[in-house]
Amino acid sequence: MNFIFQIVYKILMLIASIFGLTYHEVNIIVYFIVIPGIFMYLLGRITNKKWLFAGFILIISFSLYIIPDFRYFSTYLFKQSVDFLNSFVFLGLNYIQASVVVCVILPILMLWALVRWNKHPQNKSKSS
């Protein structure tokens, strides 16, 4: 799991250096905006509720507007996320293991399920 953690960390650091952001900022953007945004988009397509993604964008835009210092906010939220991941010690997971499970494996599984569901939607109006 350390190998996967290091790969993700290096990718996020690369993105941070390309865009002139901190690691904390990129981490928050990816895990609290981009990934949930993808999920909301797919859920909107699956449920035929296109407003889900638009609503998500509106909420994120408003949130970003009212946050006076995104760098400070990102550092604070990142520290809260670290505390959350450290709480998985009760399952026998350390920070790195919990990070990989919660931030890599679960999002990949959820994305896989949503993409599969999107490709094969349930036919709710079966004709007899």
| Whether residue 110 has pLDDT greater than 60 | yes
Question: Does the residue 9 lie in any domain?
Answer: yes
Residues 94, 84: contact at Cβ < 8 Å?
no
Poorest-confidence range of 30-44, 79-93, 114-128? 114-128
Question: Does the residue 42 lie in any domain?
Answer: yes
Residue with tokens 């988009």: 41
Question: Does the residue 125 lie in any domain?
Answer: no
Query: pLDDT category, 120, cuts 50, 70, 90?
Result: low
Question: Does the residue 44 lie in any domain?
Answer: yes
Question: Does the residue 124 lie in any domain?
Answer: no
Q: Residue range 109-124: average pLDDT?
A: 79
| Residue 126: predicted pLDDT | 46
Share of the chain above pLDDT 70, in %: 93
CA gap 66, 69 in Å, rounded? 9
Share of the chain above pLDDT 90, in %: 86
Side-chain-side CA neighbours of 42 within 13 Å: the count stands at 18
Side-chain-side CA neighbours of 96 within 13 Å: the count stands at 9
Number of domains in the chain: 1
Question: Does the residue 89 lie in any domain?
Answer: yes
Return phi, psi of residue 123, to 5°. -85, 100
Structural domain span for residue 49: 2-119
pTM of the model: 0.86
Question: Does the residue 127 lie in any domain?
Answer: no
* Alpha-carbon torsion, ordered 23, 83, 32, 97, to 10 deg: 80
Mean pLDDT over each residue of the chain, to the nearest integer: 92
pLDDT tens across 53-109, in order?
A: 999 999 999 999 999 999 999 999 999 999 999 999 999 999 999 999 999 999 999
Question: Does the residue 126 lie in any domain?
Answer: no
